[in-house]
Amino acid sequence: MKRVSLSFAGLKIYFVDREKALEKFIDWAERGTYPVQVVFGPEGCGKSALLRQAMELLKDHGYSVALISPLAGEEKERLSMTEDLKGLVETSLSLLLGESVIKLVNVVVNLLYKVVKRGLSKRIALLLDDVFQAIGVDKASLFVKSLLNIIEYPSVDYEKIVIVVTTSEGITRREIGRHRWAELIPMWNMSKNGFKELYDMIPGDKPPFDEAWRCTGGNPEVLGRLYRANWNVNRVTQHIVKGKRLIPFISSLSNEEIKLLQRTLEDPDYLLKREVNDTLRKLKIQLMNRLVELNLIVDDLYTREQEFWIDTPPPEKDPELGIGEYVAWQTPLHREAVRIALKNVEERL
């Protein structure tokens, strides 16, 4: 299988690692998906890159594939299609991309149906990257139900269909999980060996690998940020503080919540430890929900058995990286950003 070329921090690299995830896509290619598959994981863990490689894999398995990435930086990356689909587009790509995400999905689904009707392909795939953020959390569940309808009640007689959606939104995952319209599959940052392959592709002077690993926890986006910042860890951490508005967030917390947050910095599992005190238990849940909303932590981590993950799961526990048994900081720098913001607020008091 051809490894796709990817844009990474201003560099052109090729897709590496994620062998377990690609095996999962091969299985989906052979059997089709039911229900909708929703892959969730930390921001920047590589979900977008995986979908681009998966598109190539599915194409090799005889699929007509469309990949919609509404939040992609470059316009040409917001809609990718196999050649048979491109040949059916009746308007300019710019006009198509100007539509709302939901309307764009509808147009693309009709293109996939046309491919089947015209006998160009009997295998179709729709890959959607971080669409929930674009359409809104409140519409996420109904949107997934509409995708399930494509699988269950299509207007064409397809042989196989694959529908995979990725998300970094923890709150969206909870909303979708209330129904049986999707199978939720977690994805974590890169394995240490895979991350080393990516690290080795970065040119020029750089910090020792172990140092890069301790800062990023294997998150490729954070590695890219560090490279762009000339490996200035403080600059990247401050960007997280500002980008997630952590100082206003922490300033809004009560004294009791700040104490809980301090404990969570040392042990993320503390948020899920049972409390006899009802008030304290409610405060913990409230704080955890806000940290999830800000994409700072991942809560309710699955068992580490491989079958429950789309790729290599995180270690059972790694205090240095901020990974607990049930709750984890998305990356060590996310935890450090909270620590810095907390200190800033305390110094003002």
Q: Is the pLDDT of residue 175 over 80?
A: no
DSSP 285-314: HHHHHHHHHTTSEE-SPPPS-GGGSSSPPP
What token pair was written down for 114? 């046309």
Which residues, in sequence order, are bridge partners of residue 80?
67
What token pair was written down for 79? 């809609």
- How many whole angstroms separate alpha carbon 219 and alpha carbon 194? 11
Domain 5-186, CATH number (from 3.40.50.300, 1.10.8.60, 3.20.20.80, 3.40.50.11890): 3.40.50.300
State mean pLDDT over 208-232.
97
- How many whole angstroms separate alpha carbon 111 and alpha carbon 273? 50
Which band of pLDDT confidence, cut at 50, 70 and 90, is reported for residue 95?
confident
State mean pLDDT over 142-147.
93
Q: Do 58 and 82 contact (CB within 8 A), yes or no?
A: no
Q: Residues 260-287: pLDDT tens digits?
A: 999 999 999 999 998 888 899 999 999 9
Which band of pLDDT confidence, cut at 50, 70 and 90, is reported for residue 1?
confident
Among 22-26, 98-102, 105-109, 267-271, which is the least confidently predicted range?
98-102
Q: Is the pLDDT of residue 118 over 80?
A: yes
Which band of pLDDT confidence, cut at 50, 70 and 90, is reported for residue 126?
very high
Global pTM reads: 0.94
Each domain of the chain, given as residue ranges in start order, spans 5-186, 192-348
State mean pLDDT over 35-50.
95
Percent of the chain exceeding pLDDT 90 equals 79
- Average pLDDT score, the chain: 93
What pLDDT score was predicted for residue 169? Answer: 72
Q: Is the pLDDT of residue 91 over 80?
A: no
What pLDDT score was predicted for residue 315? Answer: 93
Q: Is the pLDDT of residue 349 over 70?
A: no
Q: Is the pLDDT of residue 173 over 80?
A: no
What pLDDT score was predicted for residue 96? Answer: 77
Q: Do 127 and 65 contact (CB within 8 A), yes or no?
A: yes
State mean pLDDT over 111-138.
92
Q: Is the pLDDT of residue 206 over 90?
A: yes
Q: What are phi and psi of 79, to 5 degrees?
A: -145, 115
Q: What are phi and psi of 81, to 5 degrees?
A: -140, 155
CA 295 to mean position of chain CA atoms: 10
Which band of pLDDT confidence, cut at 50, 70 and 90, is reported for residue 190?
very high
Q: Residues 46-90: pLDDT tens digits?
A: 999 999 999 999 999 999 999 999 988 777 889 999 999 999 987
